[in-house]
Structure 1
């Protein structure tokens, strides 16, 4: 056995010891067999710890006593090019947050115990320290800002809206005020000995206030058992967390109406005059006219077009992708490169295709995302439950206990808004591709 095998065995023993300890902590008296098993596991754990400590010491001594290799004696020649050490494969971004969640689950929600598990499994000193300095409250365990930033950065490709260049802005005490110019300056030519006209600009504010987003991420307990055996599963958990948060963010930042505890999305921010009913798209000219109307809404308002882009449903995207001219050529061949009429395009199922009285309408958004902001407080809270229920994508109630799953709950706070509402256009009643 090498040192990693011994570490895995020790981690497995610790998991079983924690299970027995949890039984006793819950008021269940351990049987004679369980007490004997506890003593045997404790002795083996101590034995493994001593062995691992000696092997680690031997590794450190070997590294300290290492001598340079005589390349000529190895047949490589004195002038052979140097062989550089290869860097280790970098850890999965955001894996440390997933490791915190996995250790917390294994510890039964006790941060101090989770810190020990994180240390035993080699999750890193930062993870162990973060857990040892945390206390589980009603909202869960607080993820340090430096670790939370990894998840927030991973949301950029996971979220359609973020990927188009929306700017992040810090929320101080849950609020932020971003000034914006609301009226233009007065500028003119003047004659000799004439007064220069006053140059004034009127200002307004974009006010952002923290909205609480709670994401439930179901994780199979078999996967968590693999983590106890030393199998790297953090990347899977990270992908599930960012995917769940990213999808809900898109719905909020695109179509939520700002009522109650919800953010206000693009649809509600857009001016009524910038909401344009789409044609039936029976001809290419009609499609072109509709798309140009959306672009002209921004150009006509002197939008700076810092980072303009499109968002639409997959059904609409496929309709445009399938359009052919009279010679059979693709009308919008640039869609293959993720562009439409020279601007980036994204598709998301968070834009419905069952709107309108007939239940067959959708929407197309064109906005200057460089003029939009996501206010964030930069913190995450994680918690878990093995007994809770949740609703799946089809609205069915699922029992985590019955499915042998564990629910990871991630809580974050943010808000969304544009500096200039004129920077958003929406094509409504889009039946293209139905």
Structure 2
């Protein structure tokens, strides 16, 4: 039986022993003096002795597992020309890993070593599992990570790899928002609130003062934490499928929260303001209550005009929209029966790309049938990434699942991964975001269609 399976079996039995001990203590409360009877005392002492033996066995198995991981290194290949030469872990051709796979493997290595032995043990496990080529490329980066109280402070390379995996899953990142590093978790920049003034001038006349209206904006890293339960069955059998599944589990949890906060989140001391609250008040536009093709076109035009009339550069413009509204626009027909927005099948609304996400709700308004549309020049949206991800694991902690049920990682044979990143969001241009509110656009909203 593999070491990990033996440890799991021992801990499972230990949990049963603890439950039996609790039952004996609970039963003693009904005794006349509240003390254990002679029979209960004998049973409790027997269980306590078994618990001590189990604890010692678990410590031995865990120590053995750590020692094996630390000792696992590729053997140096024999001299060239020796037909029998091969390494313990075959040397592999260097390959370009998909975004997030390096971070996924770091999660797996920390989980396998249970965070014991520091980054050296993590690196040794990586050498054993993914081969010498991957280990050689990872060595410098892993050694720079720091073992801190509460987990590993992951270095810039691995934090960047996580961000690249988040990009297609977070609408604001996907649409081209600019990721900027925040040294020490802070960044101050100028935010333009108006345009500069230029004037025609006569011969030898002084050049008029010309300066845009600006404010100073300070970005400060806000902590985003995610708890991700991963089944140990998955971690036991390493493969590229495992790499992908672990990456997807971790990024989904982080991406979902980023997506919601970056779009509609209200600012607080602990969370950044989303696009809805970064938008200039004049750029928050109410949709026409009468839903027809012309009014829909007019509303979309108002969003675009809100940016262009304020000289927003429009380097990376686009929409963020709920899937229900995408479906509505894909079915919307003109009076002749032609599709009003045929280009939506190609990922565009008019000339501009869009990202579809349920982080924009479609149940707003008193009737619960309204949504919002966001139009922005995403080249003016800044995501401050502190690039200081903290990674920790536990096989004993509990968590609350999506159904509100408290689950034990130990009882369910899971490893609980905690990922903490630090981010902030802001805009360089005061009018780079426009929001259409009250859009009751849903299939069937137009009479006769």
> Per the shorter chain, which TM-score range?
0.7 to 0.9
- Provide the residue aligned with 1:204 in structure 2: 215
In the alignment, is residue 144 of structure 1 matched against residue 155 of structure 2? Answer: yes
Q: Secondary structure at the match of 2:148?
A: coil
Aligned equivalent of 1:5: none
Q: Judging changes above 3 Å, is the alpha-carbon distance between structure 1 residues 316 and 90 closer, same or farther for their aligned structure 2 residues?
A: same
CA contact (8 A) 2:72 2:127 kept: no
Q: CA deviation at 1:289?
A: 1.1
Alignment match, 2:105: 99
Distance apart, 1:389 and its partner CA: 3.6
* Counterparts of 2:75 and 2:382, CA distance in 1: 51
* 1:172 and 2:193 matched: no
Deviation at 1:155, TM superposition (A): 1.7
Q: Contact (CA 8 Å) 2:141, 2:157: kept in 1 or not?
A: no
Residue 173 of structure 1: how far off its partner (Å): 1.4
Identify the match of residue 252 of structure 1 among 244, 261, 264: 261
Q: Cα distance 1:30–1:189, how it changes in 2: closer, same or farther (>3 A)?
A: closer
- 1:54-100 alpha-carbon deviations (Å, 9 max, x no partner): 9x5378844999xxxxxxxxxxxxxxxxxxxx977643433222222
Q: How many residues align?
A: 391
Q: Indicate conservation of the 8 Å contact 1:367/1:423, yes or no.
A: yes
C-alpha separation in 2, matches of 1:89 and 1:195: 62
Call closer, same or farther: CA 1:308–1:63 in 2, change over 3 Å: farther
Q: In structure 1, what is the equivalent of residue 230 of structure 2?
A: 219
Is 1:241 matched with 2:261?
A: no
Farther off after superposition, 364-373 or 383-392: 383-392
Q: How does 1:82-121 map to 2 (within 5 A)?
A: 90-112=96-118, 113-121=121-129
Q: Which of residues 30, 53, 57 is equivalent to 2:78?
A: 57
Q: Is the CA contact 1:111–1:131 (under 8 Å) kept in the aligned structure 2?
A: no
Q: Normalized against structure 1, the TM-score is what? A: 0.78
Cα 1:429–1:153 shift into 2, 3 Å: same
Which whole-Å deviations, capped at 9, do the CAs of 1:144-165 have from their partners, x for residues lacking one? 2122211112222121111111
Counterpart position of 2:324: 315
CA distance in 2, matches of 1:292, 1:31: 69
CA distance in 2 between counterparts of 1:144 and 1:346 reads 30
Q: 1:95 to 1:200 in 2, by over 3 A?
A: closer
The unaligned stretches of length 5 or more in structure 2 are 15-50, 87-91, 444-449
Give the superposition deviation at 1:325: 1.9
Q: Secondary structure at the residue paired with 1:214? A: strand
Q: CA deviation at 1:261?
A: 0.3
The 1:281/1:242 distance shift into structure 2, 3 A limit, reads farther
Distance 1:312 1:13 in 2: 50
Greater displacement, 203-212 / 304-313: 203-212
2:279 to 259, 262, 270: 270
Name the SS of the counterpart of 1:294 in structure 2: helix
Tell me how large the CA RMSD over aligned residues is. Answer: 3.7
Give yes or no for the alignment of 1:29 onto 2:53: yes
Structure 1 runs (4+) deviating above 6 angstroms are 17-24
The SS at the match of 1:260 is coil
Cα pair 2:170 2:256 within 8 Å, conserved? yes
Mapping of residues 2-21 of structure 1, within 5 Å = 13=2, 15=4
Question: In 2, distance between residues paired with 1:132 and 1:19?
Answer: 30
Does the CA contact (< 8 Å) of 2:193 and 2:430 recur in 1? no
